[in-house]
């Protein structure tokens, strides 16, 4: 088997250990490695990298800080409204912002792989092009579950409670998971195409911040200036937030799926187009 020292030079110990893992997956001496074995090895590599980079710790602290930073200063606005629990109101957007963090992390990981040559090396090995994507998605799913679990715990700490049975609670969680998976897959394609971790982070963080603050996740639509209410009401974060609130309130109906479903379908189309460009370019800019 090829020794680790004979592989391409890389600029850090992390990249060198990654190169060793990749050689074990796709070395020409072992061309018949089962695809499941390749997926397992690459997923394990991504998980180890996420632990080394502290992404799981950020996945824990991000929802906690979101809950604190928005609940504490904004709660006083709702204290004067009888019967309103701001923790209950805020909970959906805490979940959506948490899964948005996972998407940013996914994009940066894909961009890093592309920028240090890992992606290009995989193309020279007997590895199906979909296998690295699947492996990264499995790792992203693990981070998504961790981040969403801590978002739920943070919600419990600020007064949120599931109030209408297991079906509505599962619907609430499934909406957040579906949005998180769609965003993570799309972000993965963006990261590969960008081939630049810093630029990728900036490109994803700004839209997420703007859409989050200009949504009905933190304050009701009535609190926005009239000229921007249409945007605040109809943009995707608001639509996903309102669907989650409908599950949380036990009042979900078919009509409430239409707009969020249209946004989800639009995101899915962009994801497909993104990966079509990725594969057409052969993972190259």
Average pLDDT over residues 159-172: 90
Contact yes or no for 126/31 (Cβ under 8 A) = yes
> What is the spatial distance between Cα 104 and Cα 23, in angstroms, rounded to a whole number?
28
What is the rounded CA–CA span in Å between residue 28 and residue 205? 40
By the 10 Å C-beta count (0-12 exposed, 13-18 middle, 19+ buried), 77 is classed as middle
Question: Using only C-alpha atoms, what is the Rg of the chain?
Answer: 21
pLDDT confidence band for 3 (50 / 70 / 90): very low
Mean pLDDT of the chain: 79
pLDDT at 134 over 80: yes
> Residue 285 gets which letter from DSSP?
-
How many Å apart are CA 154 and CA 169, to the nearest integer?
16
Q: What is the DSSP letter of 8?
A: -
* pLDDT for 23: 44
pLDDT band for position 204 (cuts 50, 70, 90): confident
Model confidence, pTM:
0.80
Mean of pLDDT values over 146-160: 92
* pLDDT, average across residues 203-227: 83
How many Cβ atoms sit within 10 Å of the Cβ of residue 195?
A: 18
Cα 120 from Cα 239, distance rounded (Å)? 39
């Amino acid at each position: 088997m090829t020794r680790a020292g004979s592989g391409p030079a890389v600029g850090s110990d992390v990249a060198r250990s990654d190169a060793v893992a990749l050689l074990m997956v796709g070395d020409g001496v072992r061309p018949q490695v089962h695809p499941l074995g390749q997926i397992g090895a690459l997923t394990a590599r991504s998980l180890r990298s996420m632990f080394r980079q502290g992404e799981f710790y950020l996945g824990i602290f991000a929802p906690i800080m979101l809950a604190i930073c928005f609940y504490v200063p904004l709660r006083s606005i709702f204290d004067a409204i009888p019967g309103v629990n701001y923790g209950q109101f805020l909970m959906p957007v805490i979940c959506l912002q948490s899964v948005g963090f996972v998407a940013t992390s996914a994009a940066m990981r894909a961009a890093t792989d592309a920028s240090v040559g890992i992606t290009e090396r995989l193309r020279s090995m007997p590895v199906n092009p979909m296998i690295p994507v699947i492996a990264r998605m499995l790792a992203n799913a693990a981070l998504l579950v961790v981040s969403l679990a801590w978002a739920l715990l943070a919600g419990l700490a600020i007064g949120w409670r599931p109030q209408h049975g297991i079906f509505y609670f599962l619907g609430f969680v499934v909406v957040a998971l579906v949005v998180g998976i769609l965003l993570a897959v799309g972000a993965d394609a963006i990261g590969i195409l960008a081939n630049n971790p810093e630029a990728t982070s900036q490109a994803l963080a700004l839209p997420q911040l703007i859409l989050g603050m200009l949504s009905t996740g933190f304050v009701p639509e009535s609190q926005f200036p009239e000229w921007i209410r249409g945007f605040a009401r109809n943009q995707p974060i608001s639509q996903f937030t309102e669907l989650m609130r409908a599950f949380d309130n036990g009042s979900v109906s078919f009509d409430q799926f239409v707009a969020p479903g249209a946004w989800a379908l639009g995101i899915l189309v962009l994801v497909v187009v993104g990966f079509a460009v990725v594969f057409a370019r052969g993972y190259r800019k």
